[in-house]
Chain A
């Protein structure tokens, strides 16, 4: 077991996969010589060279076009879109091309590529560099969508995404890059489409994703210590495929569901889970579903304002105490 940061886990996963497979290439802006704008790809350029770790022009559509064209002809590209907000610049290639290619070819072609991107808020970057856009990807059939919350999950899930024959959107939460965690030694490949139960409690099930996971964990400890409420915490990890088996089981056990979502409120992934719960285990519920989200506003830049928008551990505790007690 080594202690790694979330950002180091990114580079470790890519290096692990590039060492074992010559067909893995990595494309993006400032990923090579500069080591990544978040320093998440440090060392890769030196180890694998400029042919395999390609610094690109600032041309998101060309980056994803290159990734798609080469994925159709035998390569396994990893493309980095520096900030997830920039996916809007190349959404044509994501939504109209990459996601639909397998279907439109009648299964003749697969699309073994990964689009990595720095997602989410908490860094005071303002409305155009802080959005939590995993829901954009979740609503497009033909994509897999992953958002890890810990260094071990980054490494294992990113490796799995690179080996996966389908296109995977890999959302790294940028405020998590400095966090540390233990990562097993040696080759690590996790399983896509699996949620993880991080804490067991009998009173309420908190379902969270990415940066909301550590906040939910903190809130759960607080709820236990201060209010005598024991919470189960489920880390969703993968929005597509969604591990409904684990998620529904854990909700049924407590009869109460709280989703913690970084996204603006409308059409967040938690609404989809609430809908599945209403469909499939409505009679297991002991009370209303609670969704804790960022309000439906663009993200502000100022410290005080941004902190007031994203769900915090304090807010999670407060809402659960108010609504469940």
Chain B
């Protein structure tokens, strides 16, 4: 990445009369040594998202998926590294670029793909679509189509966790485009004021739709956006799953220890356009190829694994085959699952009508 990851200092808070955790160091969190099994899990999880999204893109092109479809290709390390640091107590919420988050939460690829194709076997029975999918069972609270709206909601997830003393943390993902929404500011203030266990994961993929961060945001260092409230922040190489995981572990610990919210800015990149209908003419081909060729999170991790000697390239190819088979199965399910019956129109509007 062009920018070196940084860390924002946590300011001492006035008026509350209590000591906060020390400021996060200005250097990047040191990467812990991951064992061979962990590395393989990250690799497989990222690969599943990559292959799933490639397939979704193809199916969109074939007219099997309608509406909007925002692919996560390129950003896989962010969600996989983050999810590896949480457990079943924790809740996750994100925006509309949500397929990767759902797979990383352990949701069934069949149910996700069937929602994209508008079938009854989809997670929301076809009523949600690509941008609005949920799984209460997996603590995944959407899938939200309005830029920034998931941020106060994720703060609410943390409010409930703290009130009920579950020990849970809320992972609230937002994009670089969302940071300039007013409701993000409101949520940051409330979260710090009440010491809520929420990690705001800013996925900075450099473009809010077609407008670059440089052209949209007066504040360029997004990891510092919580600083006025006394919220620690850290900038992370979001193309490196190990760096993400290390930062995630630290942030989760901060929250679980009762120290309030945390900001992580993930420097990442989406290879595809904002949505399937975006040819992405606002950036150069060279920029995209540089990211694909030199910073790809999956290719880079495969090198680490092969160099470590735990697996060969042939082993990884075999894993790719397995992952592709899962995606093929999901795609088949998504085409075979019946379309929702018109009677479904009137269910789930209210619990009691």
Contact = CB atoms under 8 A, between A and B. Distances in A.
A139 to B, nearest CB: 14
B353 interface: yes
19 contacts: A65-B156, A65-B186, A65-B187, A69-B159, A70-B156, A70-B157, A70-B159, A72-B141, A72-B157, A93-B149, A97-B149, A104-B134, A106-B124, A106-B125, A107-B347, A108-B134, A108-B136, A164-B352, A241-B353
Given A66-B159, A70-B163, A166-B351, 18 more contacts: A54-B194, A57-B193, A59-B187, A59-B190, A61-B183, A65-B154, A68-B152, A69-B156, A69-B160, A69-B170, A72-B157, A73-B161, A93-B153, A96-B145, A97-B146, A103-B349, A104-B133, A105-B128
A81 to B, nearest CB: 13
Contact of B155 (A62, A72, A96, A166): A62
Contacts of A72: 141, 153, 156-157, 160
A72 B142 CA distance: 11
Contacts of A65: 149, 151-156, 183, 186-187
Interface residues of B, number: 50
A69 B351 contact: no
Contacts of A133: none
Interface string A67-94: 1111111110000000000000000110
A56 interface: yes
Contacts, number: 148
A92 B149 contact: yes
A92 B161 CA distance: 24
Interface in B185-235: 186-187, 189-190, 193-194
A75 B153 contact: no
Contacts of A64: 152
B169 to A, nearest CB: 12
A100 B123 CA distance: 15
A65 B200 CA distance: 15
Interface residues of A, number: 43
Contact of A69 (B122, B153, B186, B193): B153
Interface of A: 25, 51, 54, 56-57, 59-62, 64-75, 92-93, 96-97, 100-110, 141-142, 144, 164-166, 241
Given A69-B152, A97-B153, A104-B132, A75 B127 contact: no
Interface in B252-283: none
A144 B350 contact: yes
B13 to A, nearest CB: 15
B158 interface: yes
Interface string B111-151: 00000000000111111100011111000011111100101
A33 B132 CA distance: 39
B170 to A, nearest CB: 8
A75 B93 CA distance: 17
B152 A102 contact: no
Contact of A61 (B91, B159, B182): B182
A69 B127 contact: no
A59 B152 CA distance: 10
B193 to A, nearest CB: 7
